Structure 1
Amino acid sequence: MGRIDVFVAPRPNPALIKVMTIVNRIVMLRGVPGFRDLLPFNRLAGLRGVANIRHIDFPVADQQKLHACCGEGQATFITPNHPEFFTDWMIDKQIVSRVSPLAASWATHGVVNGLGRLMQKFWLANNLIAQIPGNSEAAKAHSVDWALKGHGVLLHPEGSVGWHGNHVAPLLPGAVEMGLAALKRGRETNKDFKVWVAPVVWKLAFIGNVERPLARECAYVEKKLKMESVAAGSLPERVYSIYSGLLSLDEQACGLTAEAGASFASRQQRVLAELGLRLADAVAAEPDLDLAELLRRSRRWLREGKADADEQKRVRKLAETIQRVQRVGSWAFANQTITQEEIAEHLKRIRNDYCKGNRFIPQPAGPRCAHIRVPEPLALHAYDGSVEEALAVLRSRMQEAVSRIVTELEAAGGFISYPNPFYHR
């Protein structure tokens, strides 16, 4: 117990899990009615609801679809999208409380093991599985054992938070691989044993106009980054100016000069190309590798630990810089308009990546509704494709469900939008 890089099996306490589900619903999500809209009480996160989720739109049909995949005689791996840190587990906990109350949830080892022994015991009692970077075999084995008992196992297939609620990033293979392992073991004693990978998506939408609090948060970010001079202009233009200034710093570090009138996307690609060449040279990889494969090679190179400490530090910094620059993806340039929700995501991503201090708990700009949907689960017991093909199917189903939520909200006038300065034809 206590070491951050040592896996310790969860010890779920059903009574604590039940109590924490209620606490999460009130303190972390919805707040206390009568206080959450009343000054000065609504300035207190616990009374307002830390994540300020006033409503949960989770249709009964979707709940029933997910519930049907859970229970004895089958193993279930629940895979939600990952649009926001902290709010993720709070919403995920509400989801599993309705379909599989003793489901285990994967979380970073920094949360489960890194906050001291008492907090470690607390998280293990809440049935959190610590993901140990580079050494996840024990966590995977425990997950398969737990799923075979008829309890769900929840993990985010996108990996780390990207702060892009309208876009589903490429998926990691863990859930499918564990599902196949569970299927093999389950079929040893029951030829009809079933295994599901059950995707879930949720989209957060503000209930009202939050331009003023977003502008205050933008001013805070400008001040933290010493970019007060960009305060003129519309809110999206200010956010774009912050990101453009940060990209300029990366250009300078790479010895690049931005061409006059160049788009953000083209400038970003030049920076990534230069960083990729430097990383490939450092780890003796082919210079024409795509960045995803190059990053995998660099992680393997770091695990092998063949270079001295300074060179390892340099490789780690290059890899981290590539990942940071990539976090403004092509989805940011795709649409001519940008919503308040997307502006909020940009600001949270900037705070997470560039600002020290209060970066992780979201402190949203205003009350929100969580729209939750369950795409068609993938029945691994009736699937004969490859892991890669399964991931493509899951991602397609998740993206389609997210896009459908967005389309429905747009049709109902649920978004406030502006011209998108990131837009690139």
Structure 2
Amino acid sequence: MGRIDVFVAPRPNRALINMMTIVNRIVMLRGVPGFRDLLPFNRLAGLRGVANVRHIDFPAADQQKLQACCGEGQATFITPNHPEFFTDWMIDKEIVSRVSPLAASWATHGVVNGLGRLMQKFWLANNLIAQIPGNNEAAKAHSVDWALKGHGVLLHPEGGVGWHGDHVGPLLPGAVEMGLEALQRGRETNADFKAWVAPVVWKLAFTGNVERALARECAYVEKSLKIEGAAHGSLPERVYRIYSDLLSRDEQAFGLTAVQGASYAVRQQRALAELGQRLADGVAAEPGLDLAELLRRSRRWLREGEADTEEQKRVRKLAETIQRIQRVGSWAFADRTITQEEIAEHLKRIRNDYCKGTLRDTINRFIPQPVGPRCAHIRVPQPLGLHDYDGSVDEALVVLRTRMQAAVTRILTDLEAGGGFISYPNPFYHR
């Protein structure tokens, strides 16, 4: 135990898990009634609720749908979307506490193994599975074994946090692959054994107008990053200006020719195309690869470590810059309007990617604080029964992503119809 890159099997402690479920609901999510809205107590995260999720909208029908997939005689891999860091595990824990209390959950090895031996024992007792980059075979084997016992296994198929709650990103194949392995092993002793990939989506919505608080956070980001001409224009325009200036810095750092008067979307694509070509040359990749595959090749190239130190630094910097620039995805340019929730996501993404060097910024990356109270709207799309499925893994990912995005869109439509969003003209909009 203790090494960050070594997998250690979880040792779930039911009493601790039950206790942490209560702590999670009060301290991490909802806060303490009577204190969470009362100055000065509402400035203390533990009394206000660290994630400030006051309400859980999880309809009984959706909960029952997910619960029906869990239990003896079936293996279940629960796959939530991944719109926000820290809050993700808090909401995920609330979900599994209602449907499969002893479910295991995947988490980054930096959390499970990287905070010392005492914290490692704590996380393993909470049934967290450490994801070891480049070496997940032990974690997958343990996940299949645990799922075969009738307990769920939760992992995020989008991978890392994207800070885009209205959009489901491309999915990774791990849950489907483990589900198929569990099905094969389960059928060896039980002809009626079932295996499920059960998607879950949740959308966080502010319970009131948080424009003033968003403006304060925006001002902090502008000051931290030394954005010239800060605090001018509307809130969305200020966020756009931050991203535009940050892209200009990347263009200058790599000697790219900026296109005067071009939109952010056009400049972003030109920058990604040029940097992608340089990265492909650096790792000797064949032409025509998309950026996702090119980044995978570069990570493998860096792990192999066959080039000299300076070349490795150059490739690593290229890859990190591409990843950072492309985190503003096509979803940001799609709609004419932008909500307060989306502005909050932009600011958290900027703070995570660019604001570094102070204790405040370090804490924010691990425990980002929302600017106001929120409601978590949780829905369960139709689970994918692998026992009744004969398509490929890639086709299964398309099915799952389609179902997840449709569920998110339904939440958005229902909230919009009820007047649940405060919106502004979207300066990122690009036809």
For Structure 1 versus Structure 2, the TM-score category normalised by the shorter chain is over 0.9
| 1:20-71 per-position Cα deviation (integer Å, ceiling 9, x unaligned) | 0000000000000000000000000000000000000000000000000000
Q: Which residue of 2 aligns with 1:407?
A: 413
Equivalence map 1:263-302=2 (5 Å): 263-302=263-302
Pairing 1:379–2:379 present: no
- 2:402 is the alignment partner of 1:390: no
Aligned match for 1:359, one of 351, 355, 364: 364
Match of 1:255 in 2: 255
Contact in 2 for aligned 1:219/1:228 (Cα 8 Å): no
Q: What code does the residue aligned with 2:354 have?
A: Y
The alignment partner of 1:229 has SS state of coil
Counterpart-to-counterpart distance in 2, 1:72 and 1:236: 50
Residues of 2 paired with 1:309 and 1:2: CA distance? 28
SS at match of 1:424: coil
Whole-angstrom CA distance in 2 between matches of 1:262 and 1:239: 17
**Deviations for 1:175-227, whole angstroms, at most 9, x for unmatched residues?**
00000110111011111100000000000000000000000000000111011
- Three-state SS of the structure 2 residue aligned to 1:169 is coil
For 1:424, give the aligned amino acid: H
Q: 1:149 & 1:309 partners in 2: Cα distance?
A: 47
Deviations 1:127-152 (A, max 9, x none): 00000000000000000000000000
Q: Which amino acid aligns with 1:12?
A: P
The aligned residue for residue 11 of structure 2 is 11
The CA deviation string for residues 337-360 of structure 1, in whole angstroms up to 9 with x for no partner, is: 000000000000000000112332
- Kindly provide the amino acid, as one letter, of the partner of residue 359 in structure 1: N
| C-alpha distance in 2 between matches for 1:207 and 1:234 | 21
Equivalent AA in structure 2 for residue 10 of structure 1: P
The residue matched to 1:105 in structure 2 has which SS? strand
- In the alignment, the residues of structure 1 paired with residue 69 and residue 289 of structure 2 have an alpha-carbon distance, to the nearest angstrom, of 40
Aligned mates of 2:65, 2:229 — CA distance in 1: 52
TM-score, normalised to structure 2's length?
A: 0.98
Q: How far is 1:286 from its partner? A: 2.0
Structure 2 residue matching 1:342: 3-state secondary structure: helix
Alignment-derived partner of residue 208 in structure 2: 208
Contact 2:83–2:165 (CA under 8 A) maintained in structure 1: yes
* 1:422 equivalent in alignment to 2:407: no
Q: Distance in 1 between matches of 2:246 and 2:310?
A: 25
1:257 to partner: Cα distance: 2.8
Offset of 1:249 from its aligned partner? 0.7
Give the 3-state SS of the residue equivalent to 1:230 in structure 2.
coil
Shift of the alpha carbon at 1:263?
0.9
Amino acid at match of 1:194: K
The aligned amino acid for 1:406 is L
What is aligned with 1:177?
177
| Aligned-partner residue type, residue 70 of structure 1 | C
- The answer for the alignment partner of 1:154 in structure 2 is 154
Give deviations 1:313-344, integer Å, cap 9, x for gaps.
22122111111111000000000000000000
CA distance, structure 2, for counterparts of residue 359 and residue 312 of structure 1:
29
Counterpart amino acid of residue 376 in structure 2: A
Equivalent residue, structure 2, for 1:198: 198
Q: Deviations over 1:383-411 (max 9, x none)?
A: 00000000000000000000000010001
Secondary structure at the counterpart of residue 196 of structure 2: strand
Decide whether the 8 Å contact of 1:78 with 1:198 is kept in 2: yes
CA contact (8 A) 1:254 1:271 kept: no
**1:210 partner letter:** V
User: How far, CA to CA, are the matches of 2:228 and 2:265 in structure 1?
Assistant: 24
Identity across matched positions, percent: 87
Give the Cα separation in 2 of the matches to 1:92 and 1:191.
31
Q: Which runs of 5+ in 1 are unaligned?
A: none
Note if contact 1:112-1:120 (Cα within 8 Å) is conserved in structure 2: yes
User: CA separation in 1, counterparts of 2:291 and 2:381?
Assistant: 30
Superposition map of 1:46-61 within 5 A: 46-61=46-61
Matches for 1:310-389 after TM superposition, within 5 Å: 310-356=310-356, 357=361, 358-360=363-365, 361-389=367-395
Task: Give a deviation string over 1:271-291, Cα, whole Å, max 9, x none.
Answer: 101111110111011232211
Whole-Å Cα distance in 1 between the matches of residues 18 and 228 of structure 2?
A: 47
- Counterpart CA distance in 1 for 2:248 and 2:219 is 20
Contact persistence 1:201–1:401 (CA under 8 A): yes
Q: Secondary structure at the match of 2:220?
A: helix
Distance 1:407 1:141 in 2: 40
> 1:258, CA displacement in angstroms?
2.2
CA contact (8 A) 2:219 2:230 kept: no
Structure 1 SS opposite 2:168: coil
Q: Report SS of the residue matched to 1:359.
A: helix
Task: Using the TM superposition, give the Cα deviation of residue 228 of structure 1 relative to its aligned residue in structure 2, in angstroms.
Answer: 5.1
Matching residue's letter, 1:93:
K
Q: How does 1:25-40 map to 2 (within 5 A)?
A: 25-40=25-40
Larger mean CA deviation between 39-48 and 306-315 belongs to 306-315
Counterpart check, 1:78 vs 2:78? yes
Partner of 1:110: 110
Q: CA contact under 8 A between 1:76 and 1:150: conserved in structure 2?
A: yes
RMSD: 0.8
* 1:305 aligned residue: 305
Work out the CA distance in 2 between the residues paired with 1:416 and 1:189: 55
Q: Which position in structure 2 is the counterpart of 1:67?
A: 67
| Residue 251 of structure 1: how far off its partner (Å) | 1.1
Contact map agreement 1:103 1:127 (CA 8 A) in 2:
yes
1:90-116, Cα deviation, whole Å (9 max, x unpaired) = 000000000000000000000000000
Could you say which residue in structure 2 is the equivalent of 1:43?
A: 43
What secondary structure sits across from 1:101 in the alignment?
Answer: coil
Letter in 2 for 1:385: G
TM-score (norm 1): 0.99
Indicate if the aligned counterparts of 2:31 and 2:52 stay in contact, CA closer than 8 A: yes
Of 286-295 and 110-119, the range deviating more from structure 2: 286-295
Q: Secondary structure at the match of 2:77?
A: strand
